[in-house]
Amino acid sequence: MTAAIRPEAHGASLWHAVSRNRRDRPALHDEINVDLAIVGGGFAGLSTALHAAGKGLSVTVLEAEIIAWGATGRNAGFVVPNFAKMDPDSILAHLGPERGERLIDFAAASADLVFSLIKGHGIDCDAVQNGWIQPAHSPAAFEKVKSRASQWAQRGRPTVVLDRQEIEVLTGIRGYAGGWMDRSGGVLNPVAYAHGLADAAEKAGAKIFERTPVTSVDRVADGWKLKTPSGSVRAGKVLIATNAYGGSLNPMLQRTYIPLKVFQIATEPLPREIRTRLLPGGQGAGDTRRNLFTFRFDADNRLISGGMHILSAGADTRVPQTIWRRLTRHLDLPDLPPLAYGWSGMAAVEPDFLPHLLDLGPGLIAGRACNGRGIAMTTAMGKALADWAAGTEARDLPLPFAPPAPIPFHALLRHAPNALLGWSMLRDRLDETA
Ligand SMILES: Cc1cc2nc3c(=O)[nH]c(=O)nc-3n(C[C@H](O)[C@H](O)[C@H](O)COP(=O)(O)OP(=O)(O)OC[C@H]3O[C@@H](n4cnc5c(N)ncnc54)[C@H](O)[C@@H]3O)c2cc1C
């Protein structure tokens, strides 16, 4: 059975609806001078603001809409300290030993950073650091994740390989070939986490403005001038942290990543008894399918899952129902409560699925660490970018730093993930029956 999504909830994320620490912030109606101006109030902008203000810099965040308006307020809340496609060995081959090792260390520590910020600043965001599980949908995928777990374990990460039965006990799902878990991962409420970061940044001295779109960023003698509809900011350094929501601010940037529309749903709360079977340890799970299957519970026992569309026409109403039906099938839950929230968000995916800093001029950087794994990665990127704001050369940070490189045939390639989804689903099925 499926029910209509609550009309007032359609399009709004569960997290915006339930977060207790949300509050409004003013728009900028002034002309101000700061050391660091940040465009975008998502995890990337807020973590940078918190860490830079903590170093004694004057910092402002300018957000076009409200805090966590972008992917930050629309994601699934999995805290994942690794990359979607690349593992340590392939990162070393891709970036070379020196840069590779730095990026691996950066990623490895990223989930611990998130949970230590939450603890240190007393952020009330239903955070659970009990592990992130990746079940393998086929024997071949199990071999891959065994190698993945061992490569991260060699870097001192608390990983564990799980056989078929252990995966069944941890997730409540039969049929996976096995899997692995990084115990430093976990789940949280992303909007509450973002507001906690914003509160902490303000306590450290940062100024945050909402409903303040930056309309231009221009070079001036002593740095940069950012214009907004009713104010302006002069800054020595500027971070563009607009991820896949940058619009017309820098059209060239829009051609340097693949924008991916991802849908999420939350059901009405489930009875507590169900937790003795499904994810009794409170972890989050995202499997190895190309058409990724993810699931977790929130603090009120709603089930949360996600998915993508092949055809965009009608997708906003059709895809949430498809995801709901997939949940009932995979979790073997014929009495799954109806859908309560359905929403979507845009993720920026890099050609190599790794975080990147883009050199836009002296003292002007765009930072993107999304790739669908941005909670841990953008938080960690913010800490690194605060070092840059305080004087470290960008090339000495742990993330790749280079001028932006537009993707050839971008207008065509940006549709590839959706166009290829049907083929990916077929390959997933063939893997499972192999
Ligand atoms: C549906 C979905 C599910 C996901 N699930 C997960 C998950 O479970 N775990 C995980 O780790 N990652 C997940 N991700 C990825 C993660 O959400 C992102 O990587 C992360 O939120 C990116 O943060 P950000 O600060 O870089 O960008 P965003 O959160 O997108 O913020 C960009 C901000 O810039 C603002 N902005 C844009 N232009 C301007 C302007 N001109 N002036 C001022 N402000 C501007 C926007 O309004 C927006 O608020 C998911 C992403 C999506 C879309």
Query: What's residue 7's pLDDT?
Result: 39
Q: How far apart are CA 154 and CA 147, in angstroms?
A: 11
Q: Which residues of the chain, if any, have pLDDT below 50?
A: 1-10
Query: What's residue 275's pLDDT?
Result: 86
- How many angstroms separate the alpha carbon of residue 164 from the centre of ligand 1? 34
Domain ranges of the chain: 7-430
Query: What's residue 11's pLDDT?
Result: 52
Residues 189, 304 contacting (CB under 8 angstroms): no
Ligand 1 pocket (Cβ < 6 Å) reads 39-45, 62-65, 69-72, 74-78, 80, 213-214, 241-247, 249, 262, 264, 306, 345-347, 370, 372-376, 378
Q: How far apart are CA 319 and CA 342, in angstroms?
A: 9
Query: What's residue 312's pLDDT?
Result: 86
Q: Which of 75, 256, 368 has the most ligand 1 atoms within 8 A of CB, as the residue to mutate?
A: 75
Query: What's residue 77's pLDDT?
Result: 98
Q: Which of 316, 378, 379, 383 has the most ligand 1 atoms within 8 A of CB, as the residue to mutate?
A: 378
Phi first, then psi, for residue 127 (nearest 5°) are: -80, 135
Ligand 1 atom with least separation from CA of 373: 11
Residues 77, 280 contacting (CB under 8 angstroms): no
Distance of CA 40 to the CA centre of its chain: 14
DSSP codes of every residue in 215-245: -EEEEETTEEEEEETTEEEEEEEEEE--GGG
* Residue among 321, 279, 286 nearest 301 (CA): 279
**Alpha-carbon torsion, ordered 108, 114, 116, 117, to 10 deg:** 140
Superfamily of domain 7-430: FAD/NAD(P)-binding domain (3.50.50.60)
Query: What's residue 417's pLDDT?
Result: 87
In what order do the strands lie in the sheet containing 159-163? 159-163, 178-182, 132-136, 284-286, 294-297, 303-307, 258-267, 339-349
